Structure formats: C-alpha cells, structure tokens
Amino acid sequence: MIIKRHWPLVGLLAALMIVGAYALVSPRHAAEDDPFADLRPEACTVIIVARNASADGSTMTTHTCDCGTCDWTWRHVPAADHKPGATRKIYHIGQYKTWPPKEGLKWDLIKKDFSGLEIPEIPHTYAYHHGMFGYMNENQVAISESTIGTVRKLVNNTPAAKIDLSMLSLLGMERSKTGRECIQIMGALAEKYGYGFNDDGEMFAVSDPNEVWIFEIMPVGPLWTPESGKPGAVWCAERLPDDNVSVCPNESRIGEIDLANKDFFMASSNVVSCAVENKLYDPAGGKPFNWKRAYSPAEGSAASTQGRRARLWRFYDIVAPSLKLRADTPNMDLPFSVKPDKKLSVQDVMNITRDKCYGTPFDPVKGIRGGPYQNPYYWAGTRKISVANVEYTSLVQCRSGLPNDIGGIVWLAFGPQDTACYMPLYAGITEMPKSFMIGDHFELNRASARWAFDYTDFHVQVAYSEAIEDVKKAQLEYEGGAVQRTAEIDKQAQDLYAKNRTKAREFLTKACLDNANKVVNAWWELGDKLLVKYNHFGFYDSQKRSRGRGKPAPSIWQKAVRMVDVLVEQEPQR
C-alpha cells in the first residue's frame, strides 16, 4: 500500500529527470531528426517591429544571445579604405567556441581558425558594432539572429563550406548600405563560397530605417563543392508589412512565397529546386511550395509542448490579444506577422524581452513551481522569452529623419533581462566601453561589465520576489532615464553634426561611455546592497539598522511542504 501510494511521486521525479537529461543536449537540427529538439537550450528570441508598428516610426529588432557559456564581448570596427587587389580573409567563427582569457580575446584568436579562403576586398568597408554577430553599421543596417535548424541531410560541416553565420554577418555589416542590399550580399557570398561548417539553419532579422526583413539560410548538404557549379546555400527572405510585428523563437517563420512580388520576397535561384532534389517537396503533390515545411519543419504548439514552444504564441498574445490566438494552434499555422493592437515604444519592446509567461497556463511560478520566493527560474518546463542563460540582449533601433550616426542605436543589456539594464550605443560612436570588451564565464573579472550584472542577478535569486523589486527601481532610474534622455542627446548631436561630424561622433561616444560606466558601477553597488539586505533571509534595513522578516512563503507552497513531509514520514524504514 505504501509503495503504491508513492508511485505518482516516483513517476513524476523520473519524468523530470528524463526531461532534464534531454534538456542538456544541444541539437542543431530540426525536430525531424530529434523528437526532443524543442527542449534544446538555445532560445534566441528575435522580436521584430516594422516602422509603422512602432510608436516613433523606427524599426526595431531584438536578439537574446542565449547560450550560457558563450563569449559576451563587444567591439567597434572602424571604417577602412582598401587598395586595389586587397583580399579579405575568411575565418571560421564558432558561436559557442571560447578561449581562456589568459590566451587572449576571442575576436583576436579567431585568426587561429582561418578557413583557407581569401575573397576580393571592396574599396571601402563600413564601420560597425559587433558582439557574437554584426549588429549595426554606420548606415543603420542592423541584424538580429535566431537558430532555426534544418533537416539533417542538408547540414554541411565539411571544409568545403567556407562561410559560417558570424562571419556572414560581419561581411554584411562591412559591405551594405541598406537591409535589402545586406541580404543580397550575404546570400551571394554564401552561394558562391559555401555556407555551413559551424552552422546550419539560421535566421537573421535584417533592418534599416525603412524596412525589416526575415532572412533564413540553410546549407545544401555535405556533398556540395564549389566545382559543382551549384549554389552552396539555399536562402529566402520575406519583408514585414510596414504596420506589422513578428517574432522568431528558434523556428522558421517563412511559409508560402511569391517571388514575383519582389517588394516582399527574395530568394536564391535554387529555393525550390534544392527542396525537390532532396525530396523535401514534391511539385506533383498539388500543394504550393512552403519554405518552412520543406526546410525546417517544427511541429507542435504552445499547449501540446506544455510551454516548451510557447514563445511564438506568447508574443502574439502580448501584442495582439484582440486576435485571440489559441495556445493550441500549431506554431506552423500561426501568422508570419500581425498588426499590434497598439504601436510599440522602445521601452515596450524592452519590457517584452523580460516576459516570463506570468498569468498564462505556462506561468513558471504557478502553484509551487517558483518555490517560497516565486523564482521563475526553478521551473524549466516553460521556454520563456526571458531566460537565465542569455549572454546579452540587443535591441537595434533604426530611425529615419536623422543622420545615420545619430539615428541608429544598439540598446545592449548584459545577462538575464529581468535583472539587466539596457544601455544605448549610437551607430556613430567610435569605441566601445572597455568593460564591454572583456570577460569570461569561468573567471570572475571585476573590470568586466557582464560580471556586474551577474553579481546582482546572483543575489536576486536568493529572495526573488522581494529582490526583483529593488532591481526594477534601478531599471526605472538608469534604463528609463536613458530612454527619456534620447531626445536631448539627439538634439545636441544634431546641432554638432550640422557643423562638424567628427565633433558629433565624439559627443555621442562620450555620452554612451559615460552612461555605460555609470550603469555598470550602479549594478556593482546594487549587488552589494542586495547581499546585505537579504543576507541569511534576514531583510536588513541599513537605514533603520534593523532586521526584519519578508513576506511569508505562499500558503500553497507551505501546504505542499507539509504534504511531502507526510509522504517522507510514510517511507519504509530500512
């Protein structure tokens, strides 16, 4: 009898252990090959806002660079002129590869991974900011990324594929004046020199002040060689309607395509033929060609995966609740983009990156999931927009009506979004804060900006429901303050730009560096305060020099503890 009464608990624990084991796997391919692909830890959510869907007429896209062990450093690459006959070396840049800091910084050490290919350099390359990928250049061309996977037969990890994703993004930044041109350049280079090696199915949201595109690219299989005369990649791009928003949560987003509509679609010449050759699409079947169903099928819905694939539905639920899209709608059937119920501000988008599905069936603190302090990270069953393993989140904002140096802003937040602070980096700045350029997961470095945010985040986890309120106050002051100061900084920069571009860029650089240094110092101090305030769960008040008690644990959690105690007491004695 006692043993039988324990079977539900044992079964639950066993199931959790199995799911946890599979969650440690990091498959790079689609669900066709791995039924547990929807449990993979990568969760790079890209939020996409077209110009007439934003409150200020800007285009915006985000990238949650989710990994947990990857490089988080950022750099500024200046513009350069190149002599006739110069070449550009192509390096293999693994998204997940890092080196110990004592050996050097990643963006110096990638030169160890020379692909053997040098391509003709162009006369002039543009300045840009980059982290894991190129994010924005001096022309306000911007990129945000999400891994989407592809069918296994198309993966090409052979040396014949010379260009992988990070390298592709840097080339796009160096060479493009518009988002549309960036896609065409990256697509052509991937076709000519072969795409893959470190990467397979990937998505870039490519934007400029006027347009936002979803660009998806796949390898064409391990047998491809340059001598074949065939394209070394297959790709497709679709433009968002100007009043729409969209999202890419590690799932292909492009469905049926209309290449005759050149204003909204672009693709490689083999976009259909590659699928036919690989038996991924049968033209005789009577159905129109569907990009995602051919190259990167991902079955399931938010409901059928118990929240593991909730991000696509959840974003639409936030921005367009009037559509009443159901959580059990298959993700493959959800729309490519939607018109939001209200236009989104840059602060709205920042807040969405912090969403954790609260109040939905997939709420990570529902019942006892969050423990006594309602910590949303205890429950790993829901794949949220905001996650713990993010290196940084970028929000690239492209604005028309301003010089490109001033119009473009990369808003950057290090570490988990809920405890981080977005800091502006204008397109026209000429250097990165030094603290943004260093650091590593495996060695605490107090000179590294990222560690300041990790330091605060670590102390929040102790008493989450209490400590997160302290963080929100700091975000309101430093992040909200930066958003409000944007108009003032724009005006001062414009006045200087009208007289001297160099002076305007110096002003923007100083403004961004000063703000970043102020925020990083504030987060180190915030971490110190949280350590003192919640030490030993004592809730110390440094002003009153008193020690109090926080809110009691939720009654449901206390009841659950008592229920488990009863079960433990009934365990047979050995």
- Domain assignment present for residue 442? The answer is no
Residue position matching structure tokens 């300045």: 127
DSSP character at residue 419: G
Q: How confident is the model at residue 574 (pLDDT cuts 50, 70, 90)?
A: low
Supply the mean pLDDT for the chain: 92
Q: How confident is the model at residue 307 (pLDDT cuts 50, 70, 90)?
A: very high
What is the DSSP code string of 294-335?
HH------TTTTTTTT-HHHHHHHHH-GGG---TTS-GGGS-
- Domain assignment present for residue 207? The answer is yes
- Domain assignment present for residue 113? The answer is yes
* pTM of the shown model: 0.92
| Tens-place pLDDT, residues 172-211 | 999 999 999 999 999 999 999 999 999 999 999 999 999 9
| C-beta separation of 571 from 564 below 8 A | no
Q: How many domains does the chain have?
A: 1
Q: How confident is the model at residue 13 (pLDDT cuts 50, 70, 90)?
A: very low
Q: How confident is the model at residue 218 (pLDDT cuts 50, 70, 90)?
A: very high
- What percentage of residues in the chain have a pLDDT greater than 90? 85
| C-beta separation of 128 from 135 below 8 A | yes
pLDDT given at position 573: 65
| Tens-place pLDDT, residues 322-378 | 999 999 999 999 999 999 999 999 999 999 999 999 999 999 999 999 999 999 999
Tell me the two tokens of residue 571. 């365990």
pLDDT given at position 20: 36
- What percentage of residues in the chain have a pLDDT greater than 70? 92
| Mean pLDDT (whole number) for 144-162 | 97
pLDDT given at position 4: 34
Domain interval for residue 170 = 10-400
**Pairwise CA distance, residues 244 & 227, whole Å:** 42
**Pairwise CA distance, residues 557 & 92, whole Å:** 50
Query: Which residues, in sequence order, are bridge partners of residue 540?
Result: 547
| Tens-place pLDDT, residues 237-275 | 999 999 999 999 999 999 999 999 999 999 999 999 999
Does pLDDT of 403 surpass 80?
yes
Residue position matching structure tokens 């006959």: 85
The sign one gets for the Cα dihedral 179, 180, 185, 191 is positive
pLDDT given at position 42: 52
Q: Which residues contact 43 (CB under 8 A, 6 or more apart)?
A: 64, 66, 249, 250, 311, 383, 384, 387, 389
| Tens-place pLDDT, residues 426-482 | 999 999 999 999 999 999 999 999 999 999 999 999 999 999 999 999 999 999 999
Q: How confident is the model at residue 560 (pLDDT cuts 50, 70, 90)?
A: confident
| Tens-place pLDDT, residues 82-128 | 999 999 999 999 999 999 999 999 999 999 999 999 999 999 999 99
Does pLDDT of 382 surpass 50?
yes
Does pLDDT of 308 surpass 60?
yes
pLDDT given at position 25: 28
pLDDT given at position 380: 87
- Domain assignment present for residue 81? The answer is yes
- Domain assignment present for residue 268? The answer is yes
- Domain assignment present for residue 550? The answer is no
pLDDT given at position 565: 85
Tell me the two tokens of residue 346. 């840059």
Query: Which residues, in sequence order, are bridge partners of residue 541?
Result: 546
Residue position matching structure tokens 């030993």: 536
- Domain assignment present for residue 450? The answer is no
- Domain assignment present for residue 354? The answer is yes
| Tens-place pLDDT, residues 55-89 | 999 999 999 999 899 999 999 999 999 999 999 99
Give the DSSP H/E element, type plus range, for residue 48: strand 45-49
